[in-house]
Amino acid sequence: MKDHIKFILKNSIIFGLISFGFSIIGGLFPSSEHTSVIGNPLVVSGITIEHIVGHIFWGAVIGLGTLSIRYIVLGGSFAILIDADHLLQFLDIELVSRMSHSIPFAIIASMIFFLILRGKDLRLCVVAFGAVLSHIAFDIFLADVAYRTDTEFPLFSPFTLEAVKFQGLDWLGIQIVGVVIVAVMSYLVKRKEIRLKNNLTKT
């Protein structure tokens, strides 16, 4: 139990820092048409209980394929930490809104976990990737269900800050991709573990 909590806390802090750090990049283009002073997050960002619980739940679903409680909790934790960029809004500087809601961010976060752990925990890498997808999925879902509107993200930031629009059931496809990526990787990791074990018992 204590191990689980340590594992979850440590990796959540790392992910939160990556997310926050990445979002800072969004503050480096004050003259871009894609940046603006977003405003106090408590006022403008619609931070509600449903929003927070939804992100955690969607993220936890991503982790289900691992069949392991620590990755399921981490999925939820990573998913909500993607909104760490809201903290930057307190600075009243020109920012790219939702900077870390991007595929390059998902890849960078996975790669950092890969490097830190020297490739020893591939499930953690894909959970980080999937959590970003689940976050985007829930933002689309919430916009559609609660506000009957589309929503947009700088999906390829920082390479282009152009926002990409999503609507309706787009969230479902994105969520499914996240779930499948994590499930497939978990299956491969498990298979390799079983093979290694079999080889050990043979010799």
Within the chain, what is the greatest distance between any pair of CA atoms? Answer: 65
Which residue's entry shows tokens 């573990």? 193
For Zn ion, the closer of residues 46 and 168 by Cβ is 46
Q: Nearest distance from residue 92's CB to Zn ion, in Å?
A: 20
CA-CA distance, 78 to 28, in Å (whole number)? 24
Question: Shortest distance, CB of residue 98 to Zn ion, whole angstroms?
Answer: 6
Show the DSSP H helices in the chain as ranges.
2-25, 41-44, 49-63, 69-81, 103-116, 122-147, 170-202
Whether residue 85 contacts residue 100, with contact meaning beta carbons closer than 8 Å, is answered with yes
Judged by CB, which is closer to Zn ion: 59, or 186?
Answer: 59
Number of residues that bind Zn ion (CB under 5 A): 1
Q: Which CB sits closer to Zn ion, 147 or 187?
A: 147
For residue 144, state whether it binds Zn ion (rule: CB under 5 A). no
Using the rule CB under 5 A, which residue among 139, 143, 174, 178 binds Zn ion? 139
For the bound state, the minimum distance from the C-beta of residue 168 to Zn ion, rounded and expressed in Å, comes to: 18
Find out whether 27 and 52 touch, Cβ atoms under 8 Å: no
Stretch that binds Zn ion, among 67-75, 119-127, 133-141, 147-155 (CB under 5 A): 133-141
Question: Which residue carries 């496809």 as its tokens?
Answer: 173
Interface residues toward Zn ion, by CB under 5 A:
139
